[in-house]
Amino acid sequence: MTLDDLMFKPGLMKGQRILVTGGGTGLGKEMAEGLMMLGADVYICGRRGGVLEEAAKAMMDAHPASAGGGQVTPIACDIRVPEAIHEMMDTIWADGALTGLINNAAGNFISRTEDLSTRGFDAIANIVFRGSFFVTLEAGKRWLAEKRKGSVVSILTTWVWSGGPFTVPSAMSKAGLNVMTQSLAAEWGNRGVRFNAIAPGPFPTEGAWARLSPGQSATAESRPQTGSPLGRVGEMRELANLAVYLLHPLSEYVNGQTIAIDGGGWNAGSRGFSALADWGDAEWAAARQSIQGANASDRAKRTV
Ligand code: HXC
Ligand code: NAP
């Protein structure tokens, strides 16, 4: 990304301090880069310490402080563990309070719902639903106690409106975060802590494609069945610009909103993975094997 990809003036986010969960890869990394390019100090967390270090270095090498870039600090943290979140926030707050949070970390995979074990459900819900809530609570309590403003942006999907066949634990968890956004916008808005959400359509990433389109590489041509009238997938810079807008103090009056960025796919009738109803046992077995291969390969890189 270069400054020409952003619709904002250089230095716009100077003084902003933002945590992006899952900021070492995919959408989180791109939003983190957009924010730091505009001068924000950004913290990125995830379970693979090496992936985070590499991402932070790449961003800071590409956009050094001399070019207006902010600091990117990687913190290995598993958001399924409330004590680990508390420790991460202590580390961040030791440098200064956050001004914003992006709840982006997630886990997901396609599966027939009848094939899910309780552990399979928990594997997703404990990251998306429970983990994102505890990160939000940990930051929120500090903002309220210190009488500071805060802006929270949660990354959802359009499945919060349409339902998500074959991705039910994710759809249920994201729907919970959608209601968290609406509820806390009303409950904490009077104290300066606001909540919004972004519901992206398909943006090709390795993490999502390995688990939602197993066997296909994450390119603009190979996409899940979430087609948009624009005939294309999303561009990361489009998402980064929206995230910057929602985190900047000048969008303060926007509170409690979930904004789709899907080229109109949801309005045009896109409904997630319904087409997988055609799959039989053999297809599901192959998908599961491929997904579990990706899970194992990522798990081997975890440092927390
Ligand atoms: C059925 C499965 C399964 C599958 C795993 N499980 N894969 N069940 N079908 N394909 C079951 C396992 O059998 C096990 O249950 C349980 O889930 C936990 O599996 P683990 O591999 O031990 O889990 P873990 O190592 O904790 O990994 C968590 C994960 C993994 C969520 C499963 O995918 C992950 O870490 N993902 C992070 C990155 C990610 O998912 N990114 C994509 C986000 S995209 P049993 O009972 O057998 O022990 C997204 C939306 C995109 O969110 C929208 C696009 C339009
Ligand atoms: P991704 O690259 O796999 O991103 C997921 C990130 O979450 C990874 O960096 C992962 O890092 C982190 N994470 C997972 N579990 C964690 C945990 N327990 N603690 C801390 N971090 C954790 O996939 P993506 O496509 O960019 O997805 C990012 C977000 O966008 C997700 O919320 C997803 O639902 C949403 N989304 C994506 C699309 C799309 O088309 N790509 C569409 C709609 C919505 P570690 O594994 O190192 O922990």
Give residue-wise pLDDT tens across range 72-98: 999 999 999 999 999 999 999 999 999
State the Cα–Cα distance between residues 34 and 21, nearest whole angstrom. Answer: 15
Counting ligands in written order, the one closest to the CA of 204 is: 2
Among the bound ligands, name the one nearest to the CA of residue 84. Answer: 2
147 exposure class (CB count in 10 Å sphere: 0-12, 13-18, 19+): exposed
For the chain, first and last CA: distance in Å? 30
- For residue 23, report the distance from its CA to the centre of ligand 1, in Å: 18
In whole angstroms, give the CA distance from residue 255 to residue 151. 9
Would the CB of 24 count as within 6 Å of ligand 2?
yes
Q: Which ligand is nearest to the CA of 243?
A: 2
The arithmetic mean of pLDDT across residues 64-69, rounded, is 97
152 CB near ligand 2 (under 6 Å):
no
Q: For the residues 92-105, what does the mean pLDDT come to?
A: 98
Gap from CA of 168 to ligand 1 centroid (Å):
12
**pLDDT tens sequence across 144-201:** 999 999 999 999 999 999 999 999 999 999 999 999 999 999 999 999 999 999 999 9
Give every strand in the sheet of 257-261, ordered side by side.
72-76, 41-46, 17-21, 100-103, 150-155, 193-200, 257-261
Residue nearest to atom 9 of ligand 2 (CA): 22
Please work out whether the CB of residue 104 comes within 6 Å of at least one atom of ligand 2.
yes
Q: In 10 A of CB 153, how many CB atoms?
A: 26
> What tokens does 217 get?
């590489």
C-alpha span between 8 and 229 (Å, rounded): 27
Q: In the CATH scheme, what is the code of domain 13-303?
A: 3.40.50.720
When pLDDT is averaged across residues 247-271 and rounded to a whole number, the result is 95
Domain boundaries, the chain: 13-303
Tell me, in angstroms, the distance from the centre of ligand 2 to residue 28's CA.
Answer: 7
Is the pLDDT confidence value at 219 over 90?
A: no
Question: pLDDT at position 293, please?
Answer: 96
Where does the pLDDT of residue 10 fall: very low under 50, low under 70, confident under 90, or very high at 90 and above?
A: very high
Do 143 and 192 form a contact (C-beta atoms < 8 A)?
Answer: yes
